[in-house]
Amino acid sequence: MPGGKVTVDGHVVEINDARNILEVVRRAGVKLPTFCYHSELSVYGACRMCMVEVEGRGLVASCSTPPEDGMVIHTNTSRTRRLRRMIIELLLANHERECTSCERSGSCKLQQLARQMGVTKVRFGQRDKKLPVDDSSPAIVKNPNKCILCGDCVRMCKEIQGLGVWDFAFRGSKTQVTTAFNKPLAEVACVNCGQCVAVCPTGALTVKSEVDRVWEAIQDPHKVVVVQVAPAVRVAIGEEFGLLPGEKATGQLVAALKKLGFDRVFDTLFAADMTTTEEALELLDRLAKGGRLPLFTSCCPAWVKYAEQFHADLLGNLSTCRSPQQMFGSLVKKFYAREIGKSPRDVVCVSVMPCTAKKFEARRPEFTTDGVPDVDFVLTTVELAQMIKEAGIVFNELEPEVFDSPLGMGSGAAVIYGASGGVMESVVRFVSAHLTGSDVGRVDFCPVRGMQGIKEAELEIGGQTLKMAVVHGLANAEKLIGRIKSGDAFYHAVEVMACPGGCLGGGGQPYPNSTAARLGRMKGLYALDRAEQLHRPQDNIFVSRAYEKWFGGPANANTHHSLHTHYYPRRRISGKPVEVTEHREGRPVEVSVCVGTNCYLKGSYDILNRFIELARQMGLTDYVQLRGTFCLECCDRGVSIKVNDEIITGVTLDNAEEVFKNQISAKVRPHLLV
């Protein structure tokens, strides 16, 4: 990077390793306004809010202009101020200005900059047409009328998550940020991670709120409402009340939940200790019996959905363990409800999570007891803060309280679940003691800690070397999976978290959800871990008692029914079948070839063309109706076809002719004899 010095508003500043003028200006103590600039994403340079005047060059965008030795930069001229105000006015003219009722009121960047720039009047009219709001997703609401086209969500989804759910469409004044073919968010490949929400500067993308439904449950005298709190929440909730990221607020958080009216306040750490136990024993079982490796963690619902959509062939590698949220919900509905003399329907389980994808996970049909969801509602950290403020509770003045028993105790191994590498370190702590059979003391497995996107580590335990990897961000996960599938890398265990930094960077955390904030929260979690008296899951006597009382011990048939699950290939595209041959009534054999993403990549389009050719060669075009369909839900078993009502998997171009003769032509022959 260039060296040298520049002059910013009369002050000389070293360039050092600054990538652009914006970074140099901020080092000089000037906070230039930006919308489209995000330090973790590529430079876009569209909003022009960061324009500065450079002597000899005139106006330039500071975010996309590299600094050069000797530059003289002016950030606060009449020209730049006039330009910034004009940009704010133009954005407001195209922006739905119902600010008082907006979910982001008070934390909206457009609102803040309008105040900062002194914009009190808008000289232009309002937008003449309102676009429909998309609330089809269980986790995210899109209001295109509040979008300022900054592109942060587009770049976040494409560059950090590798999905590309969002992109720009149309031109000129009709430009929108939308999904492919403008489909509802629930019908595209979104994994509900909420990272687009985390970077959206306005209310265009927000978390789908369940606050009102939780209030309704609390105020229902016939319901027992229990709440569980995830580890990453306790180091972030304080940010909504003026505390620094990572500052401990667990006691005040518990006190606030009790004042809100929850009947029992429990800790997700309890279930996290169970998750560690079950997952560690599952890994050891696979190692002993030659099971499928690597074992991928399954705590992150966004990662699980990603695997279901894009890597169905790896679903057998995912741990069958439910996430701590869903283990806790199962314990509450199947066992705790019975102990307090209630049916699952009369006990409402609420989760407070840093994650928007947990809202989707709670709705999965496999996570129910007697037809009732194990977790009824999921609140994000920000939603809980909203409830506390709505109730008029002065958070910072609350006297700390403790979680309720018996589901309120957790170890330090469970606390660090909220940070990238935490699940892997927890498993290491369990396994190191389990294999040696002795008290090995405190184990801190530092190689898996930190904000690096992909981390690798090896560990000698019980005479064998375990190779492990930890990854956060789905684009990084895709890179790692590519290396595993190509044979360039091998691991026994892999931890995947969708959000940068792990759960502490979840889409439901306070704004701004920046690198600095995530580092503060991570530091806070490890500080809590150091302060815990219990270090490993085995040390948690309440978990040990629950295992013996409810399951007869860990990792058996009883725990598998209540604490484990299975995952399934998930369609990426929905829609009507595409007729390939001319539609005619009375054709006795209907053949549908899956052309969804997984099958298409395995050659289904060529197979479909081969079937058309074979039907023509064998004179069967009047008897076979060929079509392409978007998913037959067998993505992990090769290319799938459906012949009348029978699904056939594992079709390849090499065996296509044999399949056609034995499975399709054979069904036509009886009709030829008539």
299 is catalytic: yes
Six-digit token string for 212: 């009102």
Q: Is 308 a catalytic residue?
A: no
d(CA 84, CA 49): 6
Which residue, chain included where needed, has tokens 């709001």? 133
Read off the tokens for 462: 């019980």
Among candidate residues 50, 63, 108, 299, the one labeled active-site is: 299
CA-to-CA distance for 150 and 345, rounded, in angstroms?
A: 45
- Annotated catalytic residue 485: no
The answer, yes or no, to whether the previous bond of 144 is cis (omega within 30 of 0) is no
The residues that bridge with 648 in the sheet, in sequence order, are: 641
- For residue 316, count other CB atoms closer than 10 A to its CB: 13
Name residue, tokens 């606050």. 211
Classify 540 as helix, strand or coil.
coil
Instruction: Give, in degrees to the nearest 5, the angle at Cα 107 between 514 and 386.
Output: 100
CA angle 75, 80, 81 (to 5 degrees): 105
Judge contact between 472 and 420, C-beta under 8 A.
yes
For the chain, the residue count is 674
| Other Cβ atoms within 10 Å of 167 Cβ, number | 15
Tell me if 285 sits within 8 A of 554, measured CB to CB.
no
Q: Would you call 153 a catalytic residue per the annotation?
A: no
Nearest-angstrom CA–CA distance, 230 and 521: 13
Indicate which residue of 503, 594, 599, 635 is catalytic: 503
Residues with Cβ within 8 Å of 201's Cβ and at least 6 positions away in sequence, in order, are: 35, 108, 109, 110, 148, 150, 152
Beta strand 224-229 pairing with 464-472: unpaired
CA distance 285 to 536: 20
Catalytic residue among 278, 361, 383, 495, which? 361
* Catalytic choice (103, 239, 240, 282): 282
Tokens describing residue 201: 């500067």
Q: How far is 525 from 588, CA to CA, in rounded Å? A: 64
Question: Which pair of tokens denotes residue 622?
Answer: 């009047």
Catalytic residue from among 208, 305, 358, 455: 358
Answer yes or no: 279 catalytic: yes
How does DSSP assign 592-638, residue by residue? EEE-SHHHHHTTHHHHHHHHHHHHHHTT-TTTEEEEEES--S-GGGS
User: 62, 137, 298, 319: which is the annotated catalytic residue?
Assistant: 319
> Among residues 366, 548, 579, 613, which one is catalytic?
366
Tell me whether residue 358 is one of the annotated catalytic residues: yes
347 beta partners: 224
Query: What amino acid positions are annotated as catalytic residues?
Result: 279, 282, 299, 319, 358, 361, 366, 503
